[in-house]
Structure 1
């Protein structure tokens, strides 16, 4: 039986000068954000884009708080990656957990893995384990950051650097909005940024363990997220406004 050929970290033909310019611009974006807002928070998934932002925050010393959504269904590699990141950069990442009552309400209605039954149950699970915790993590914040890029999916092609998060009434920034996948990996390689172990096993996009799988070479990089749903259902709701 032939083993499938999975996604692998892409090579980049970006010149050293072009990469250096991108890095300077990224750091300046972060500093400009913190000059405008007093309480800026960064939601890190600990995957490649977010690790590049983490490194840029650490290097620029931008005053930005880190948090991650500890959904209770993450890969062990992701749980371990949080500590790896804290140790490498000497920073603290707040772990934001879902409410036990919300998780139990989902289980009571749909079952532990009921999200496989369709878009509705999937949204309900993400609502309990990700969206409500995100809302709690952003209470009191003036602005927040994401690792979204235009090239990640068809739902993000019109992504801007700065947006109004209508759902939460605060400003949201996507400092890597105009970066390519290859740009991200060029940065990570040059700056020796810690790499999530699952990226080395064919996972370009990483979410909860039961909802993420490896991607075959040539597939969309988010094809492994909620793979049992249609291609236009590759968002959990974190980045959807009212």
Structure 2
């Protein structure tokens, strides 16, 4: 029997039980799934240390369907590179409703600057207020993984259905959990997961921003090298793991999107 009662007083729903509604990505057609698997087997070793431009040019040439570029708005390097190498690809932003105001401002600027790309703003099934009412206030403190699941993982899954693959901003330099991240792999739905910035350092990222006059997230210049929700992100000391400020109150290092 599922327990729908949560802990901190009150008849709140168990955070392990998501709201009713769509939560999963539609299956790929068999032929696309087979093509994706073959591409990864052949190309993943060759692209492991490839440049961002080469990886994106490869994706434009070989992906057996539409691709979507996922943007956290921490930086806009991926938007700029996709604009050059993936004409017409959709951009996707997970609007958790817990973002810093600066993050939302960057999203608006990206939408205006890269107007040839549709910016999809994916939201959770419940608004922030509805989540508090259903699961109790401050779920991100009591059950951060459940909050991430409902506000990030499930919305991404639902909005990924039209695409054969997705472009991510993963960098190996972002911390030990990502130190051996591939440039090309399959996600758990059989879609291509393509990470063109995987070899970049934080310094290279910032240099590219300067050299190309990109939209800058101001908090990245104020001690926030890795930015998520405002409720779950703290600044870090110089030289510290860039993701040390993420969920600093919990034994958690990933939101679930890249696990």
TM-score range, shorter chain: 0.7 to 0.9
Query: How far did 1:94 drift?
Result: 1.1
Aligned residues of 1:107 and 1:114 also touching (Cα < 8 A) = no
> Aligned residue for 1:16?
none
CA contact (8 A) 1:86 1:92 kept: yes
Higher Cα Rg: structure 1 or 2? Answer: 2
1:41 to 68, 72, 82: 68
- How far residue 142 of structure 1 moved from its aligned partner, in angstroms, is 0.4
SS of alignment partner, residue 100 of structure 1: coil
Whole-angstrom distance in 2 between the partners of 1:80 and 1:197: 10
Tell me the alpha carbon deviations over residues 184-228 of structure 1, each in whole angstroms, 9 at most, x when there is no partner.
111111111110121122211111110011112222111111001
Determine the C-alpha separation between the residues in 1 that align with 2:175 and 2:100.
23
1:221 equivalent to 2:242? Answer yes
Other structure's SS at 1:99 match: coil
Partner of 2:77: 52
SS at match of 1:78: helix
- Gaps (5+ residues) in structure 1? 1-23
- Say whether residues 1:153 and 2:175 are aligned partners: yes
Shift of 1:229: 1.6
Is the Cα contact below 8 Å between 1:67 and 1:96 reproduced in 2?
yes
Residue 123 (structure 2) pairs with residue 97 (structure 1): yes
Q: Is the 8 A contact 1:75 1:208 kept in 2?
A: yes
Question: Do the aligned residues in 1 keep the contact of 2:70 with 2:92 (CA within 8 Å)?
Answer: yes
Deviation of residue 62 (structure 1)? 3.3
Structure 1 or 2: larger helix share?
Answer: 1
Following TM superposition, by how much is the alpha carbon of 1:28 offset from its aligned partner in structure 2, in angstroms?
A: 2.8
- Higher RCO (C-alpha under 8 Å, 6+ residues apart): 1
Aligned equivalent of 2:105, options 80, 94, 106: 80
The reply to whether residue 70 of structure 1 matches residue 95 of structure 2 is yes
Residues 27-68 of structure 1 show CA distances to partners (whole Å, capped at 9, x for unaligned) of: 2321210211221011100112xx111111122353421010
- Contact 2:69/2:82 (<8 A) preserved: no
TM-score under structure 1 length normalisation = 0.80
Task: Name the TM-score, length of structure 2 as normaliser.
Answer: 0.75
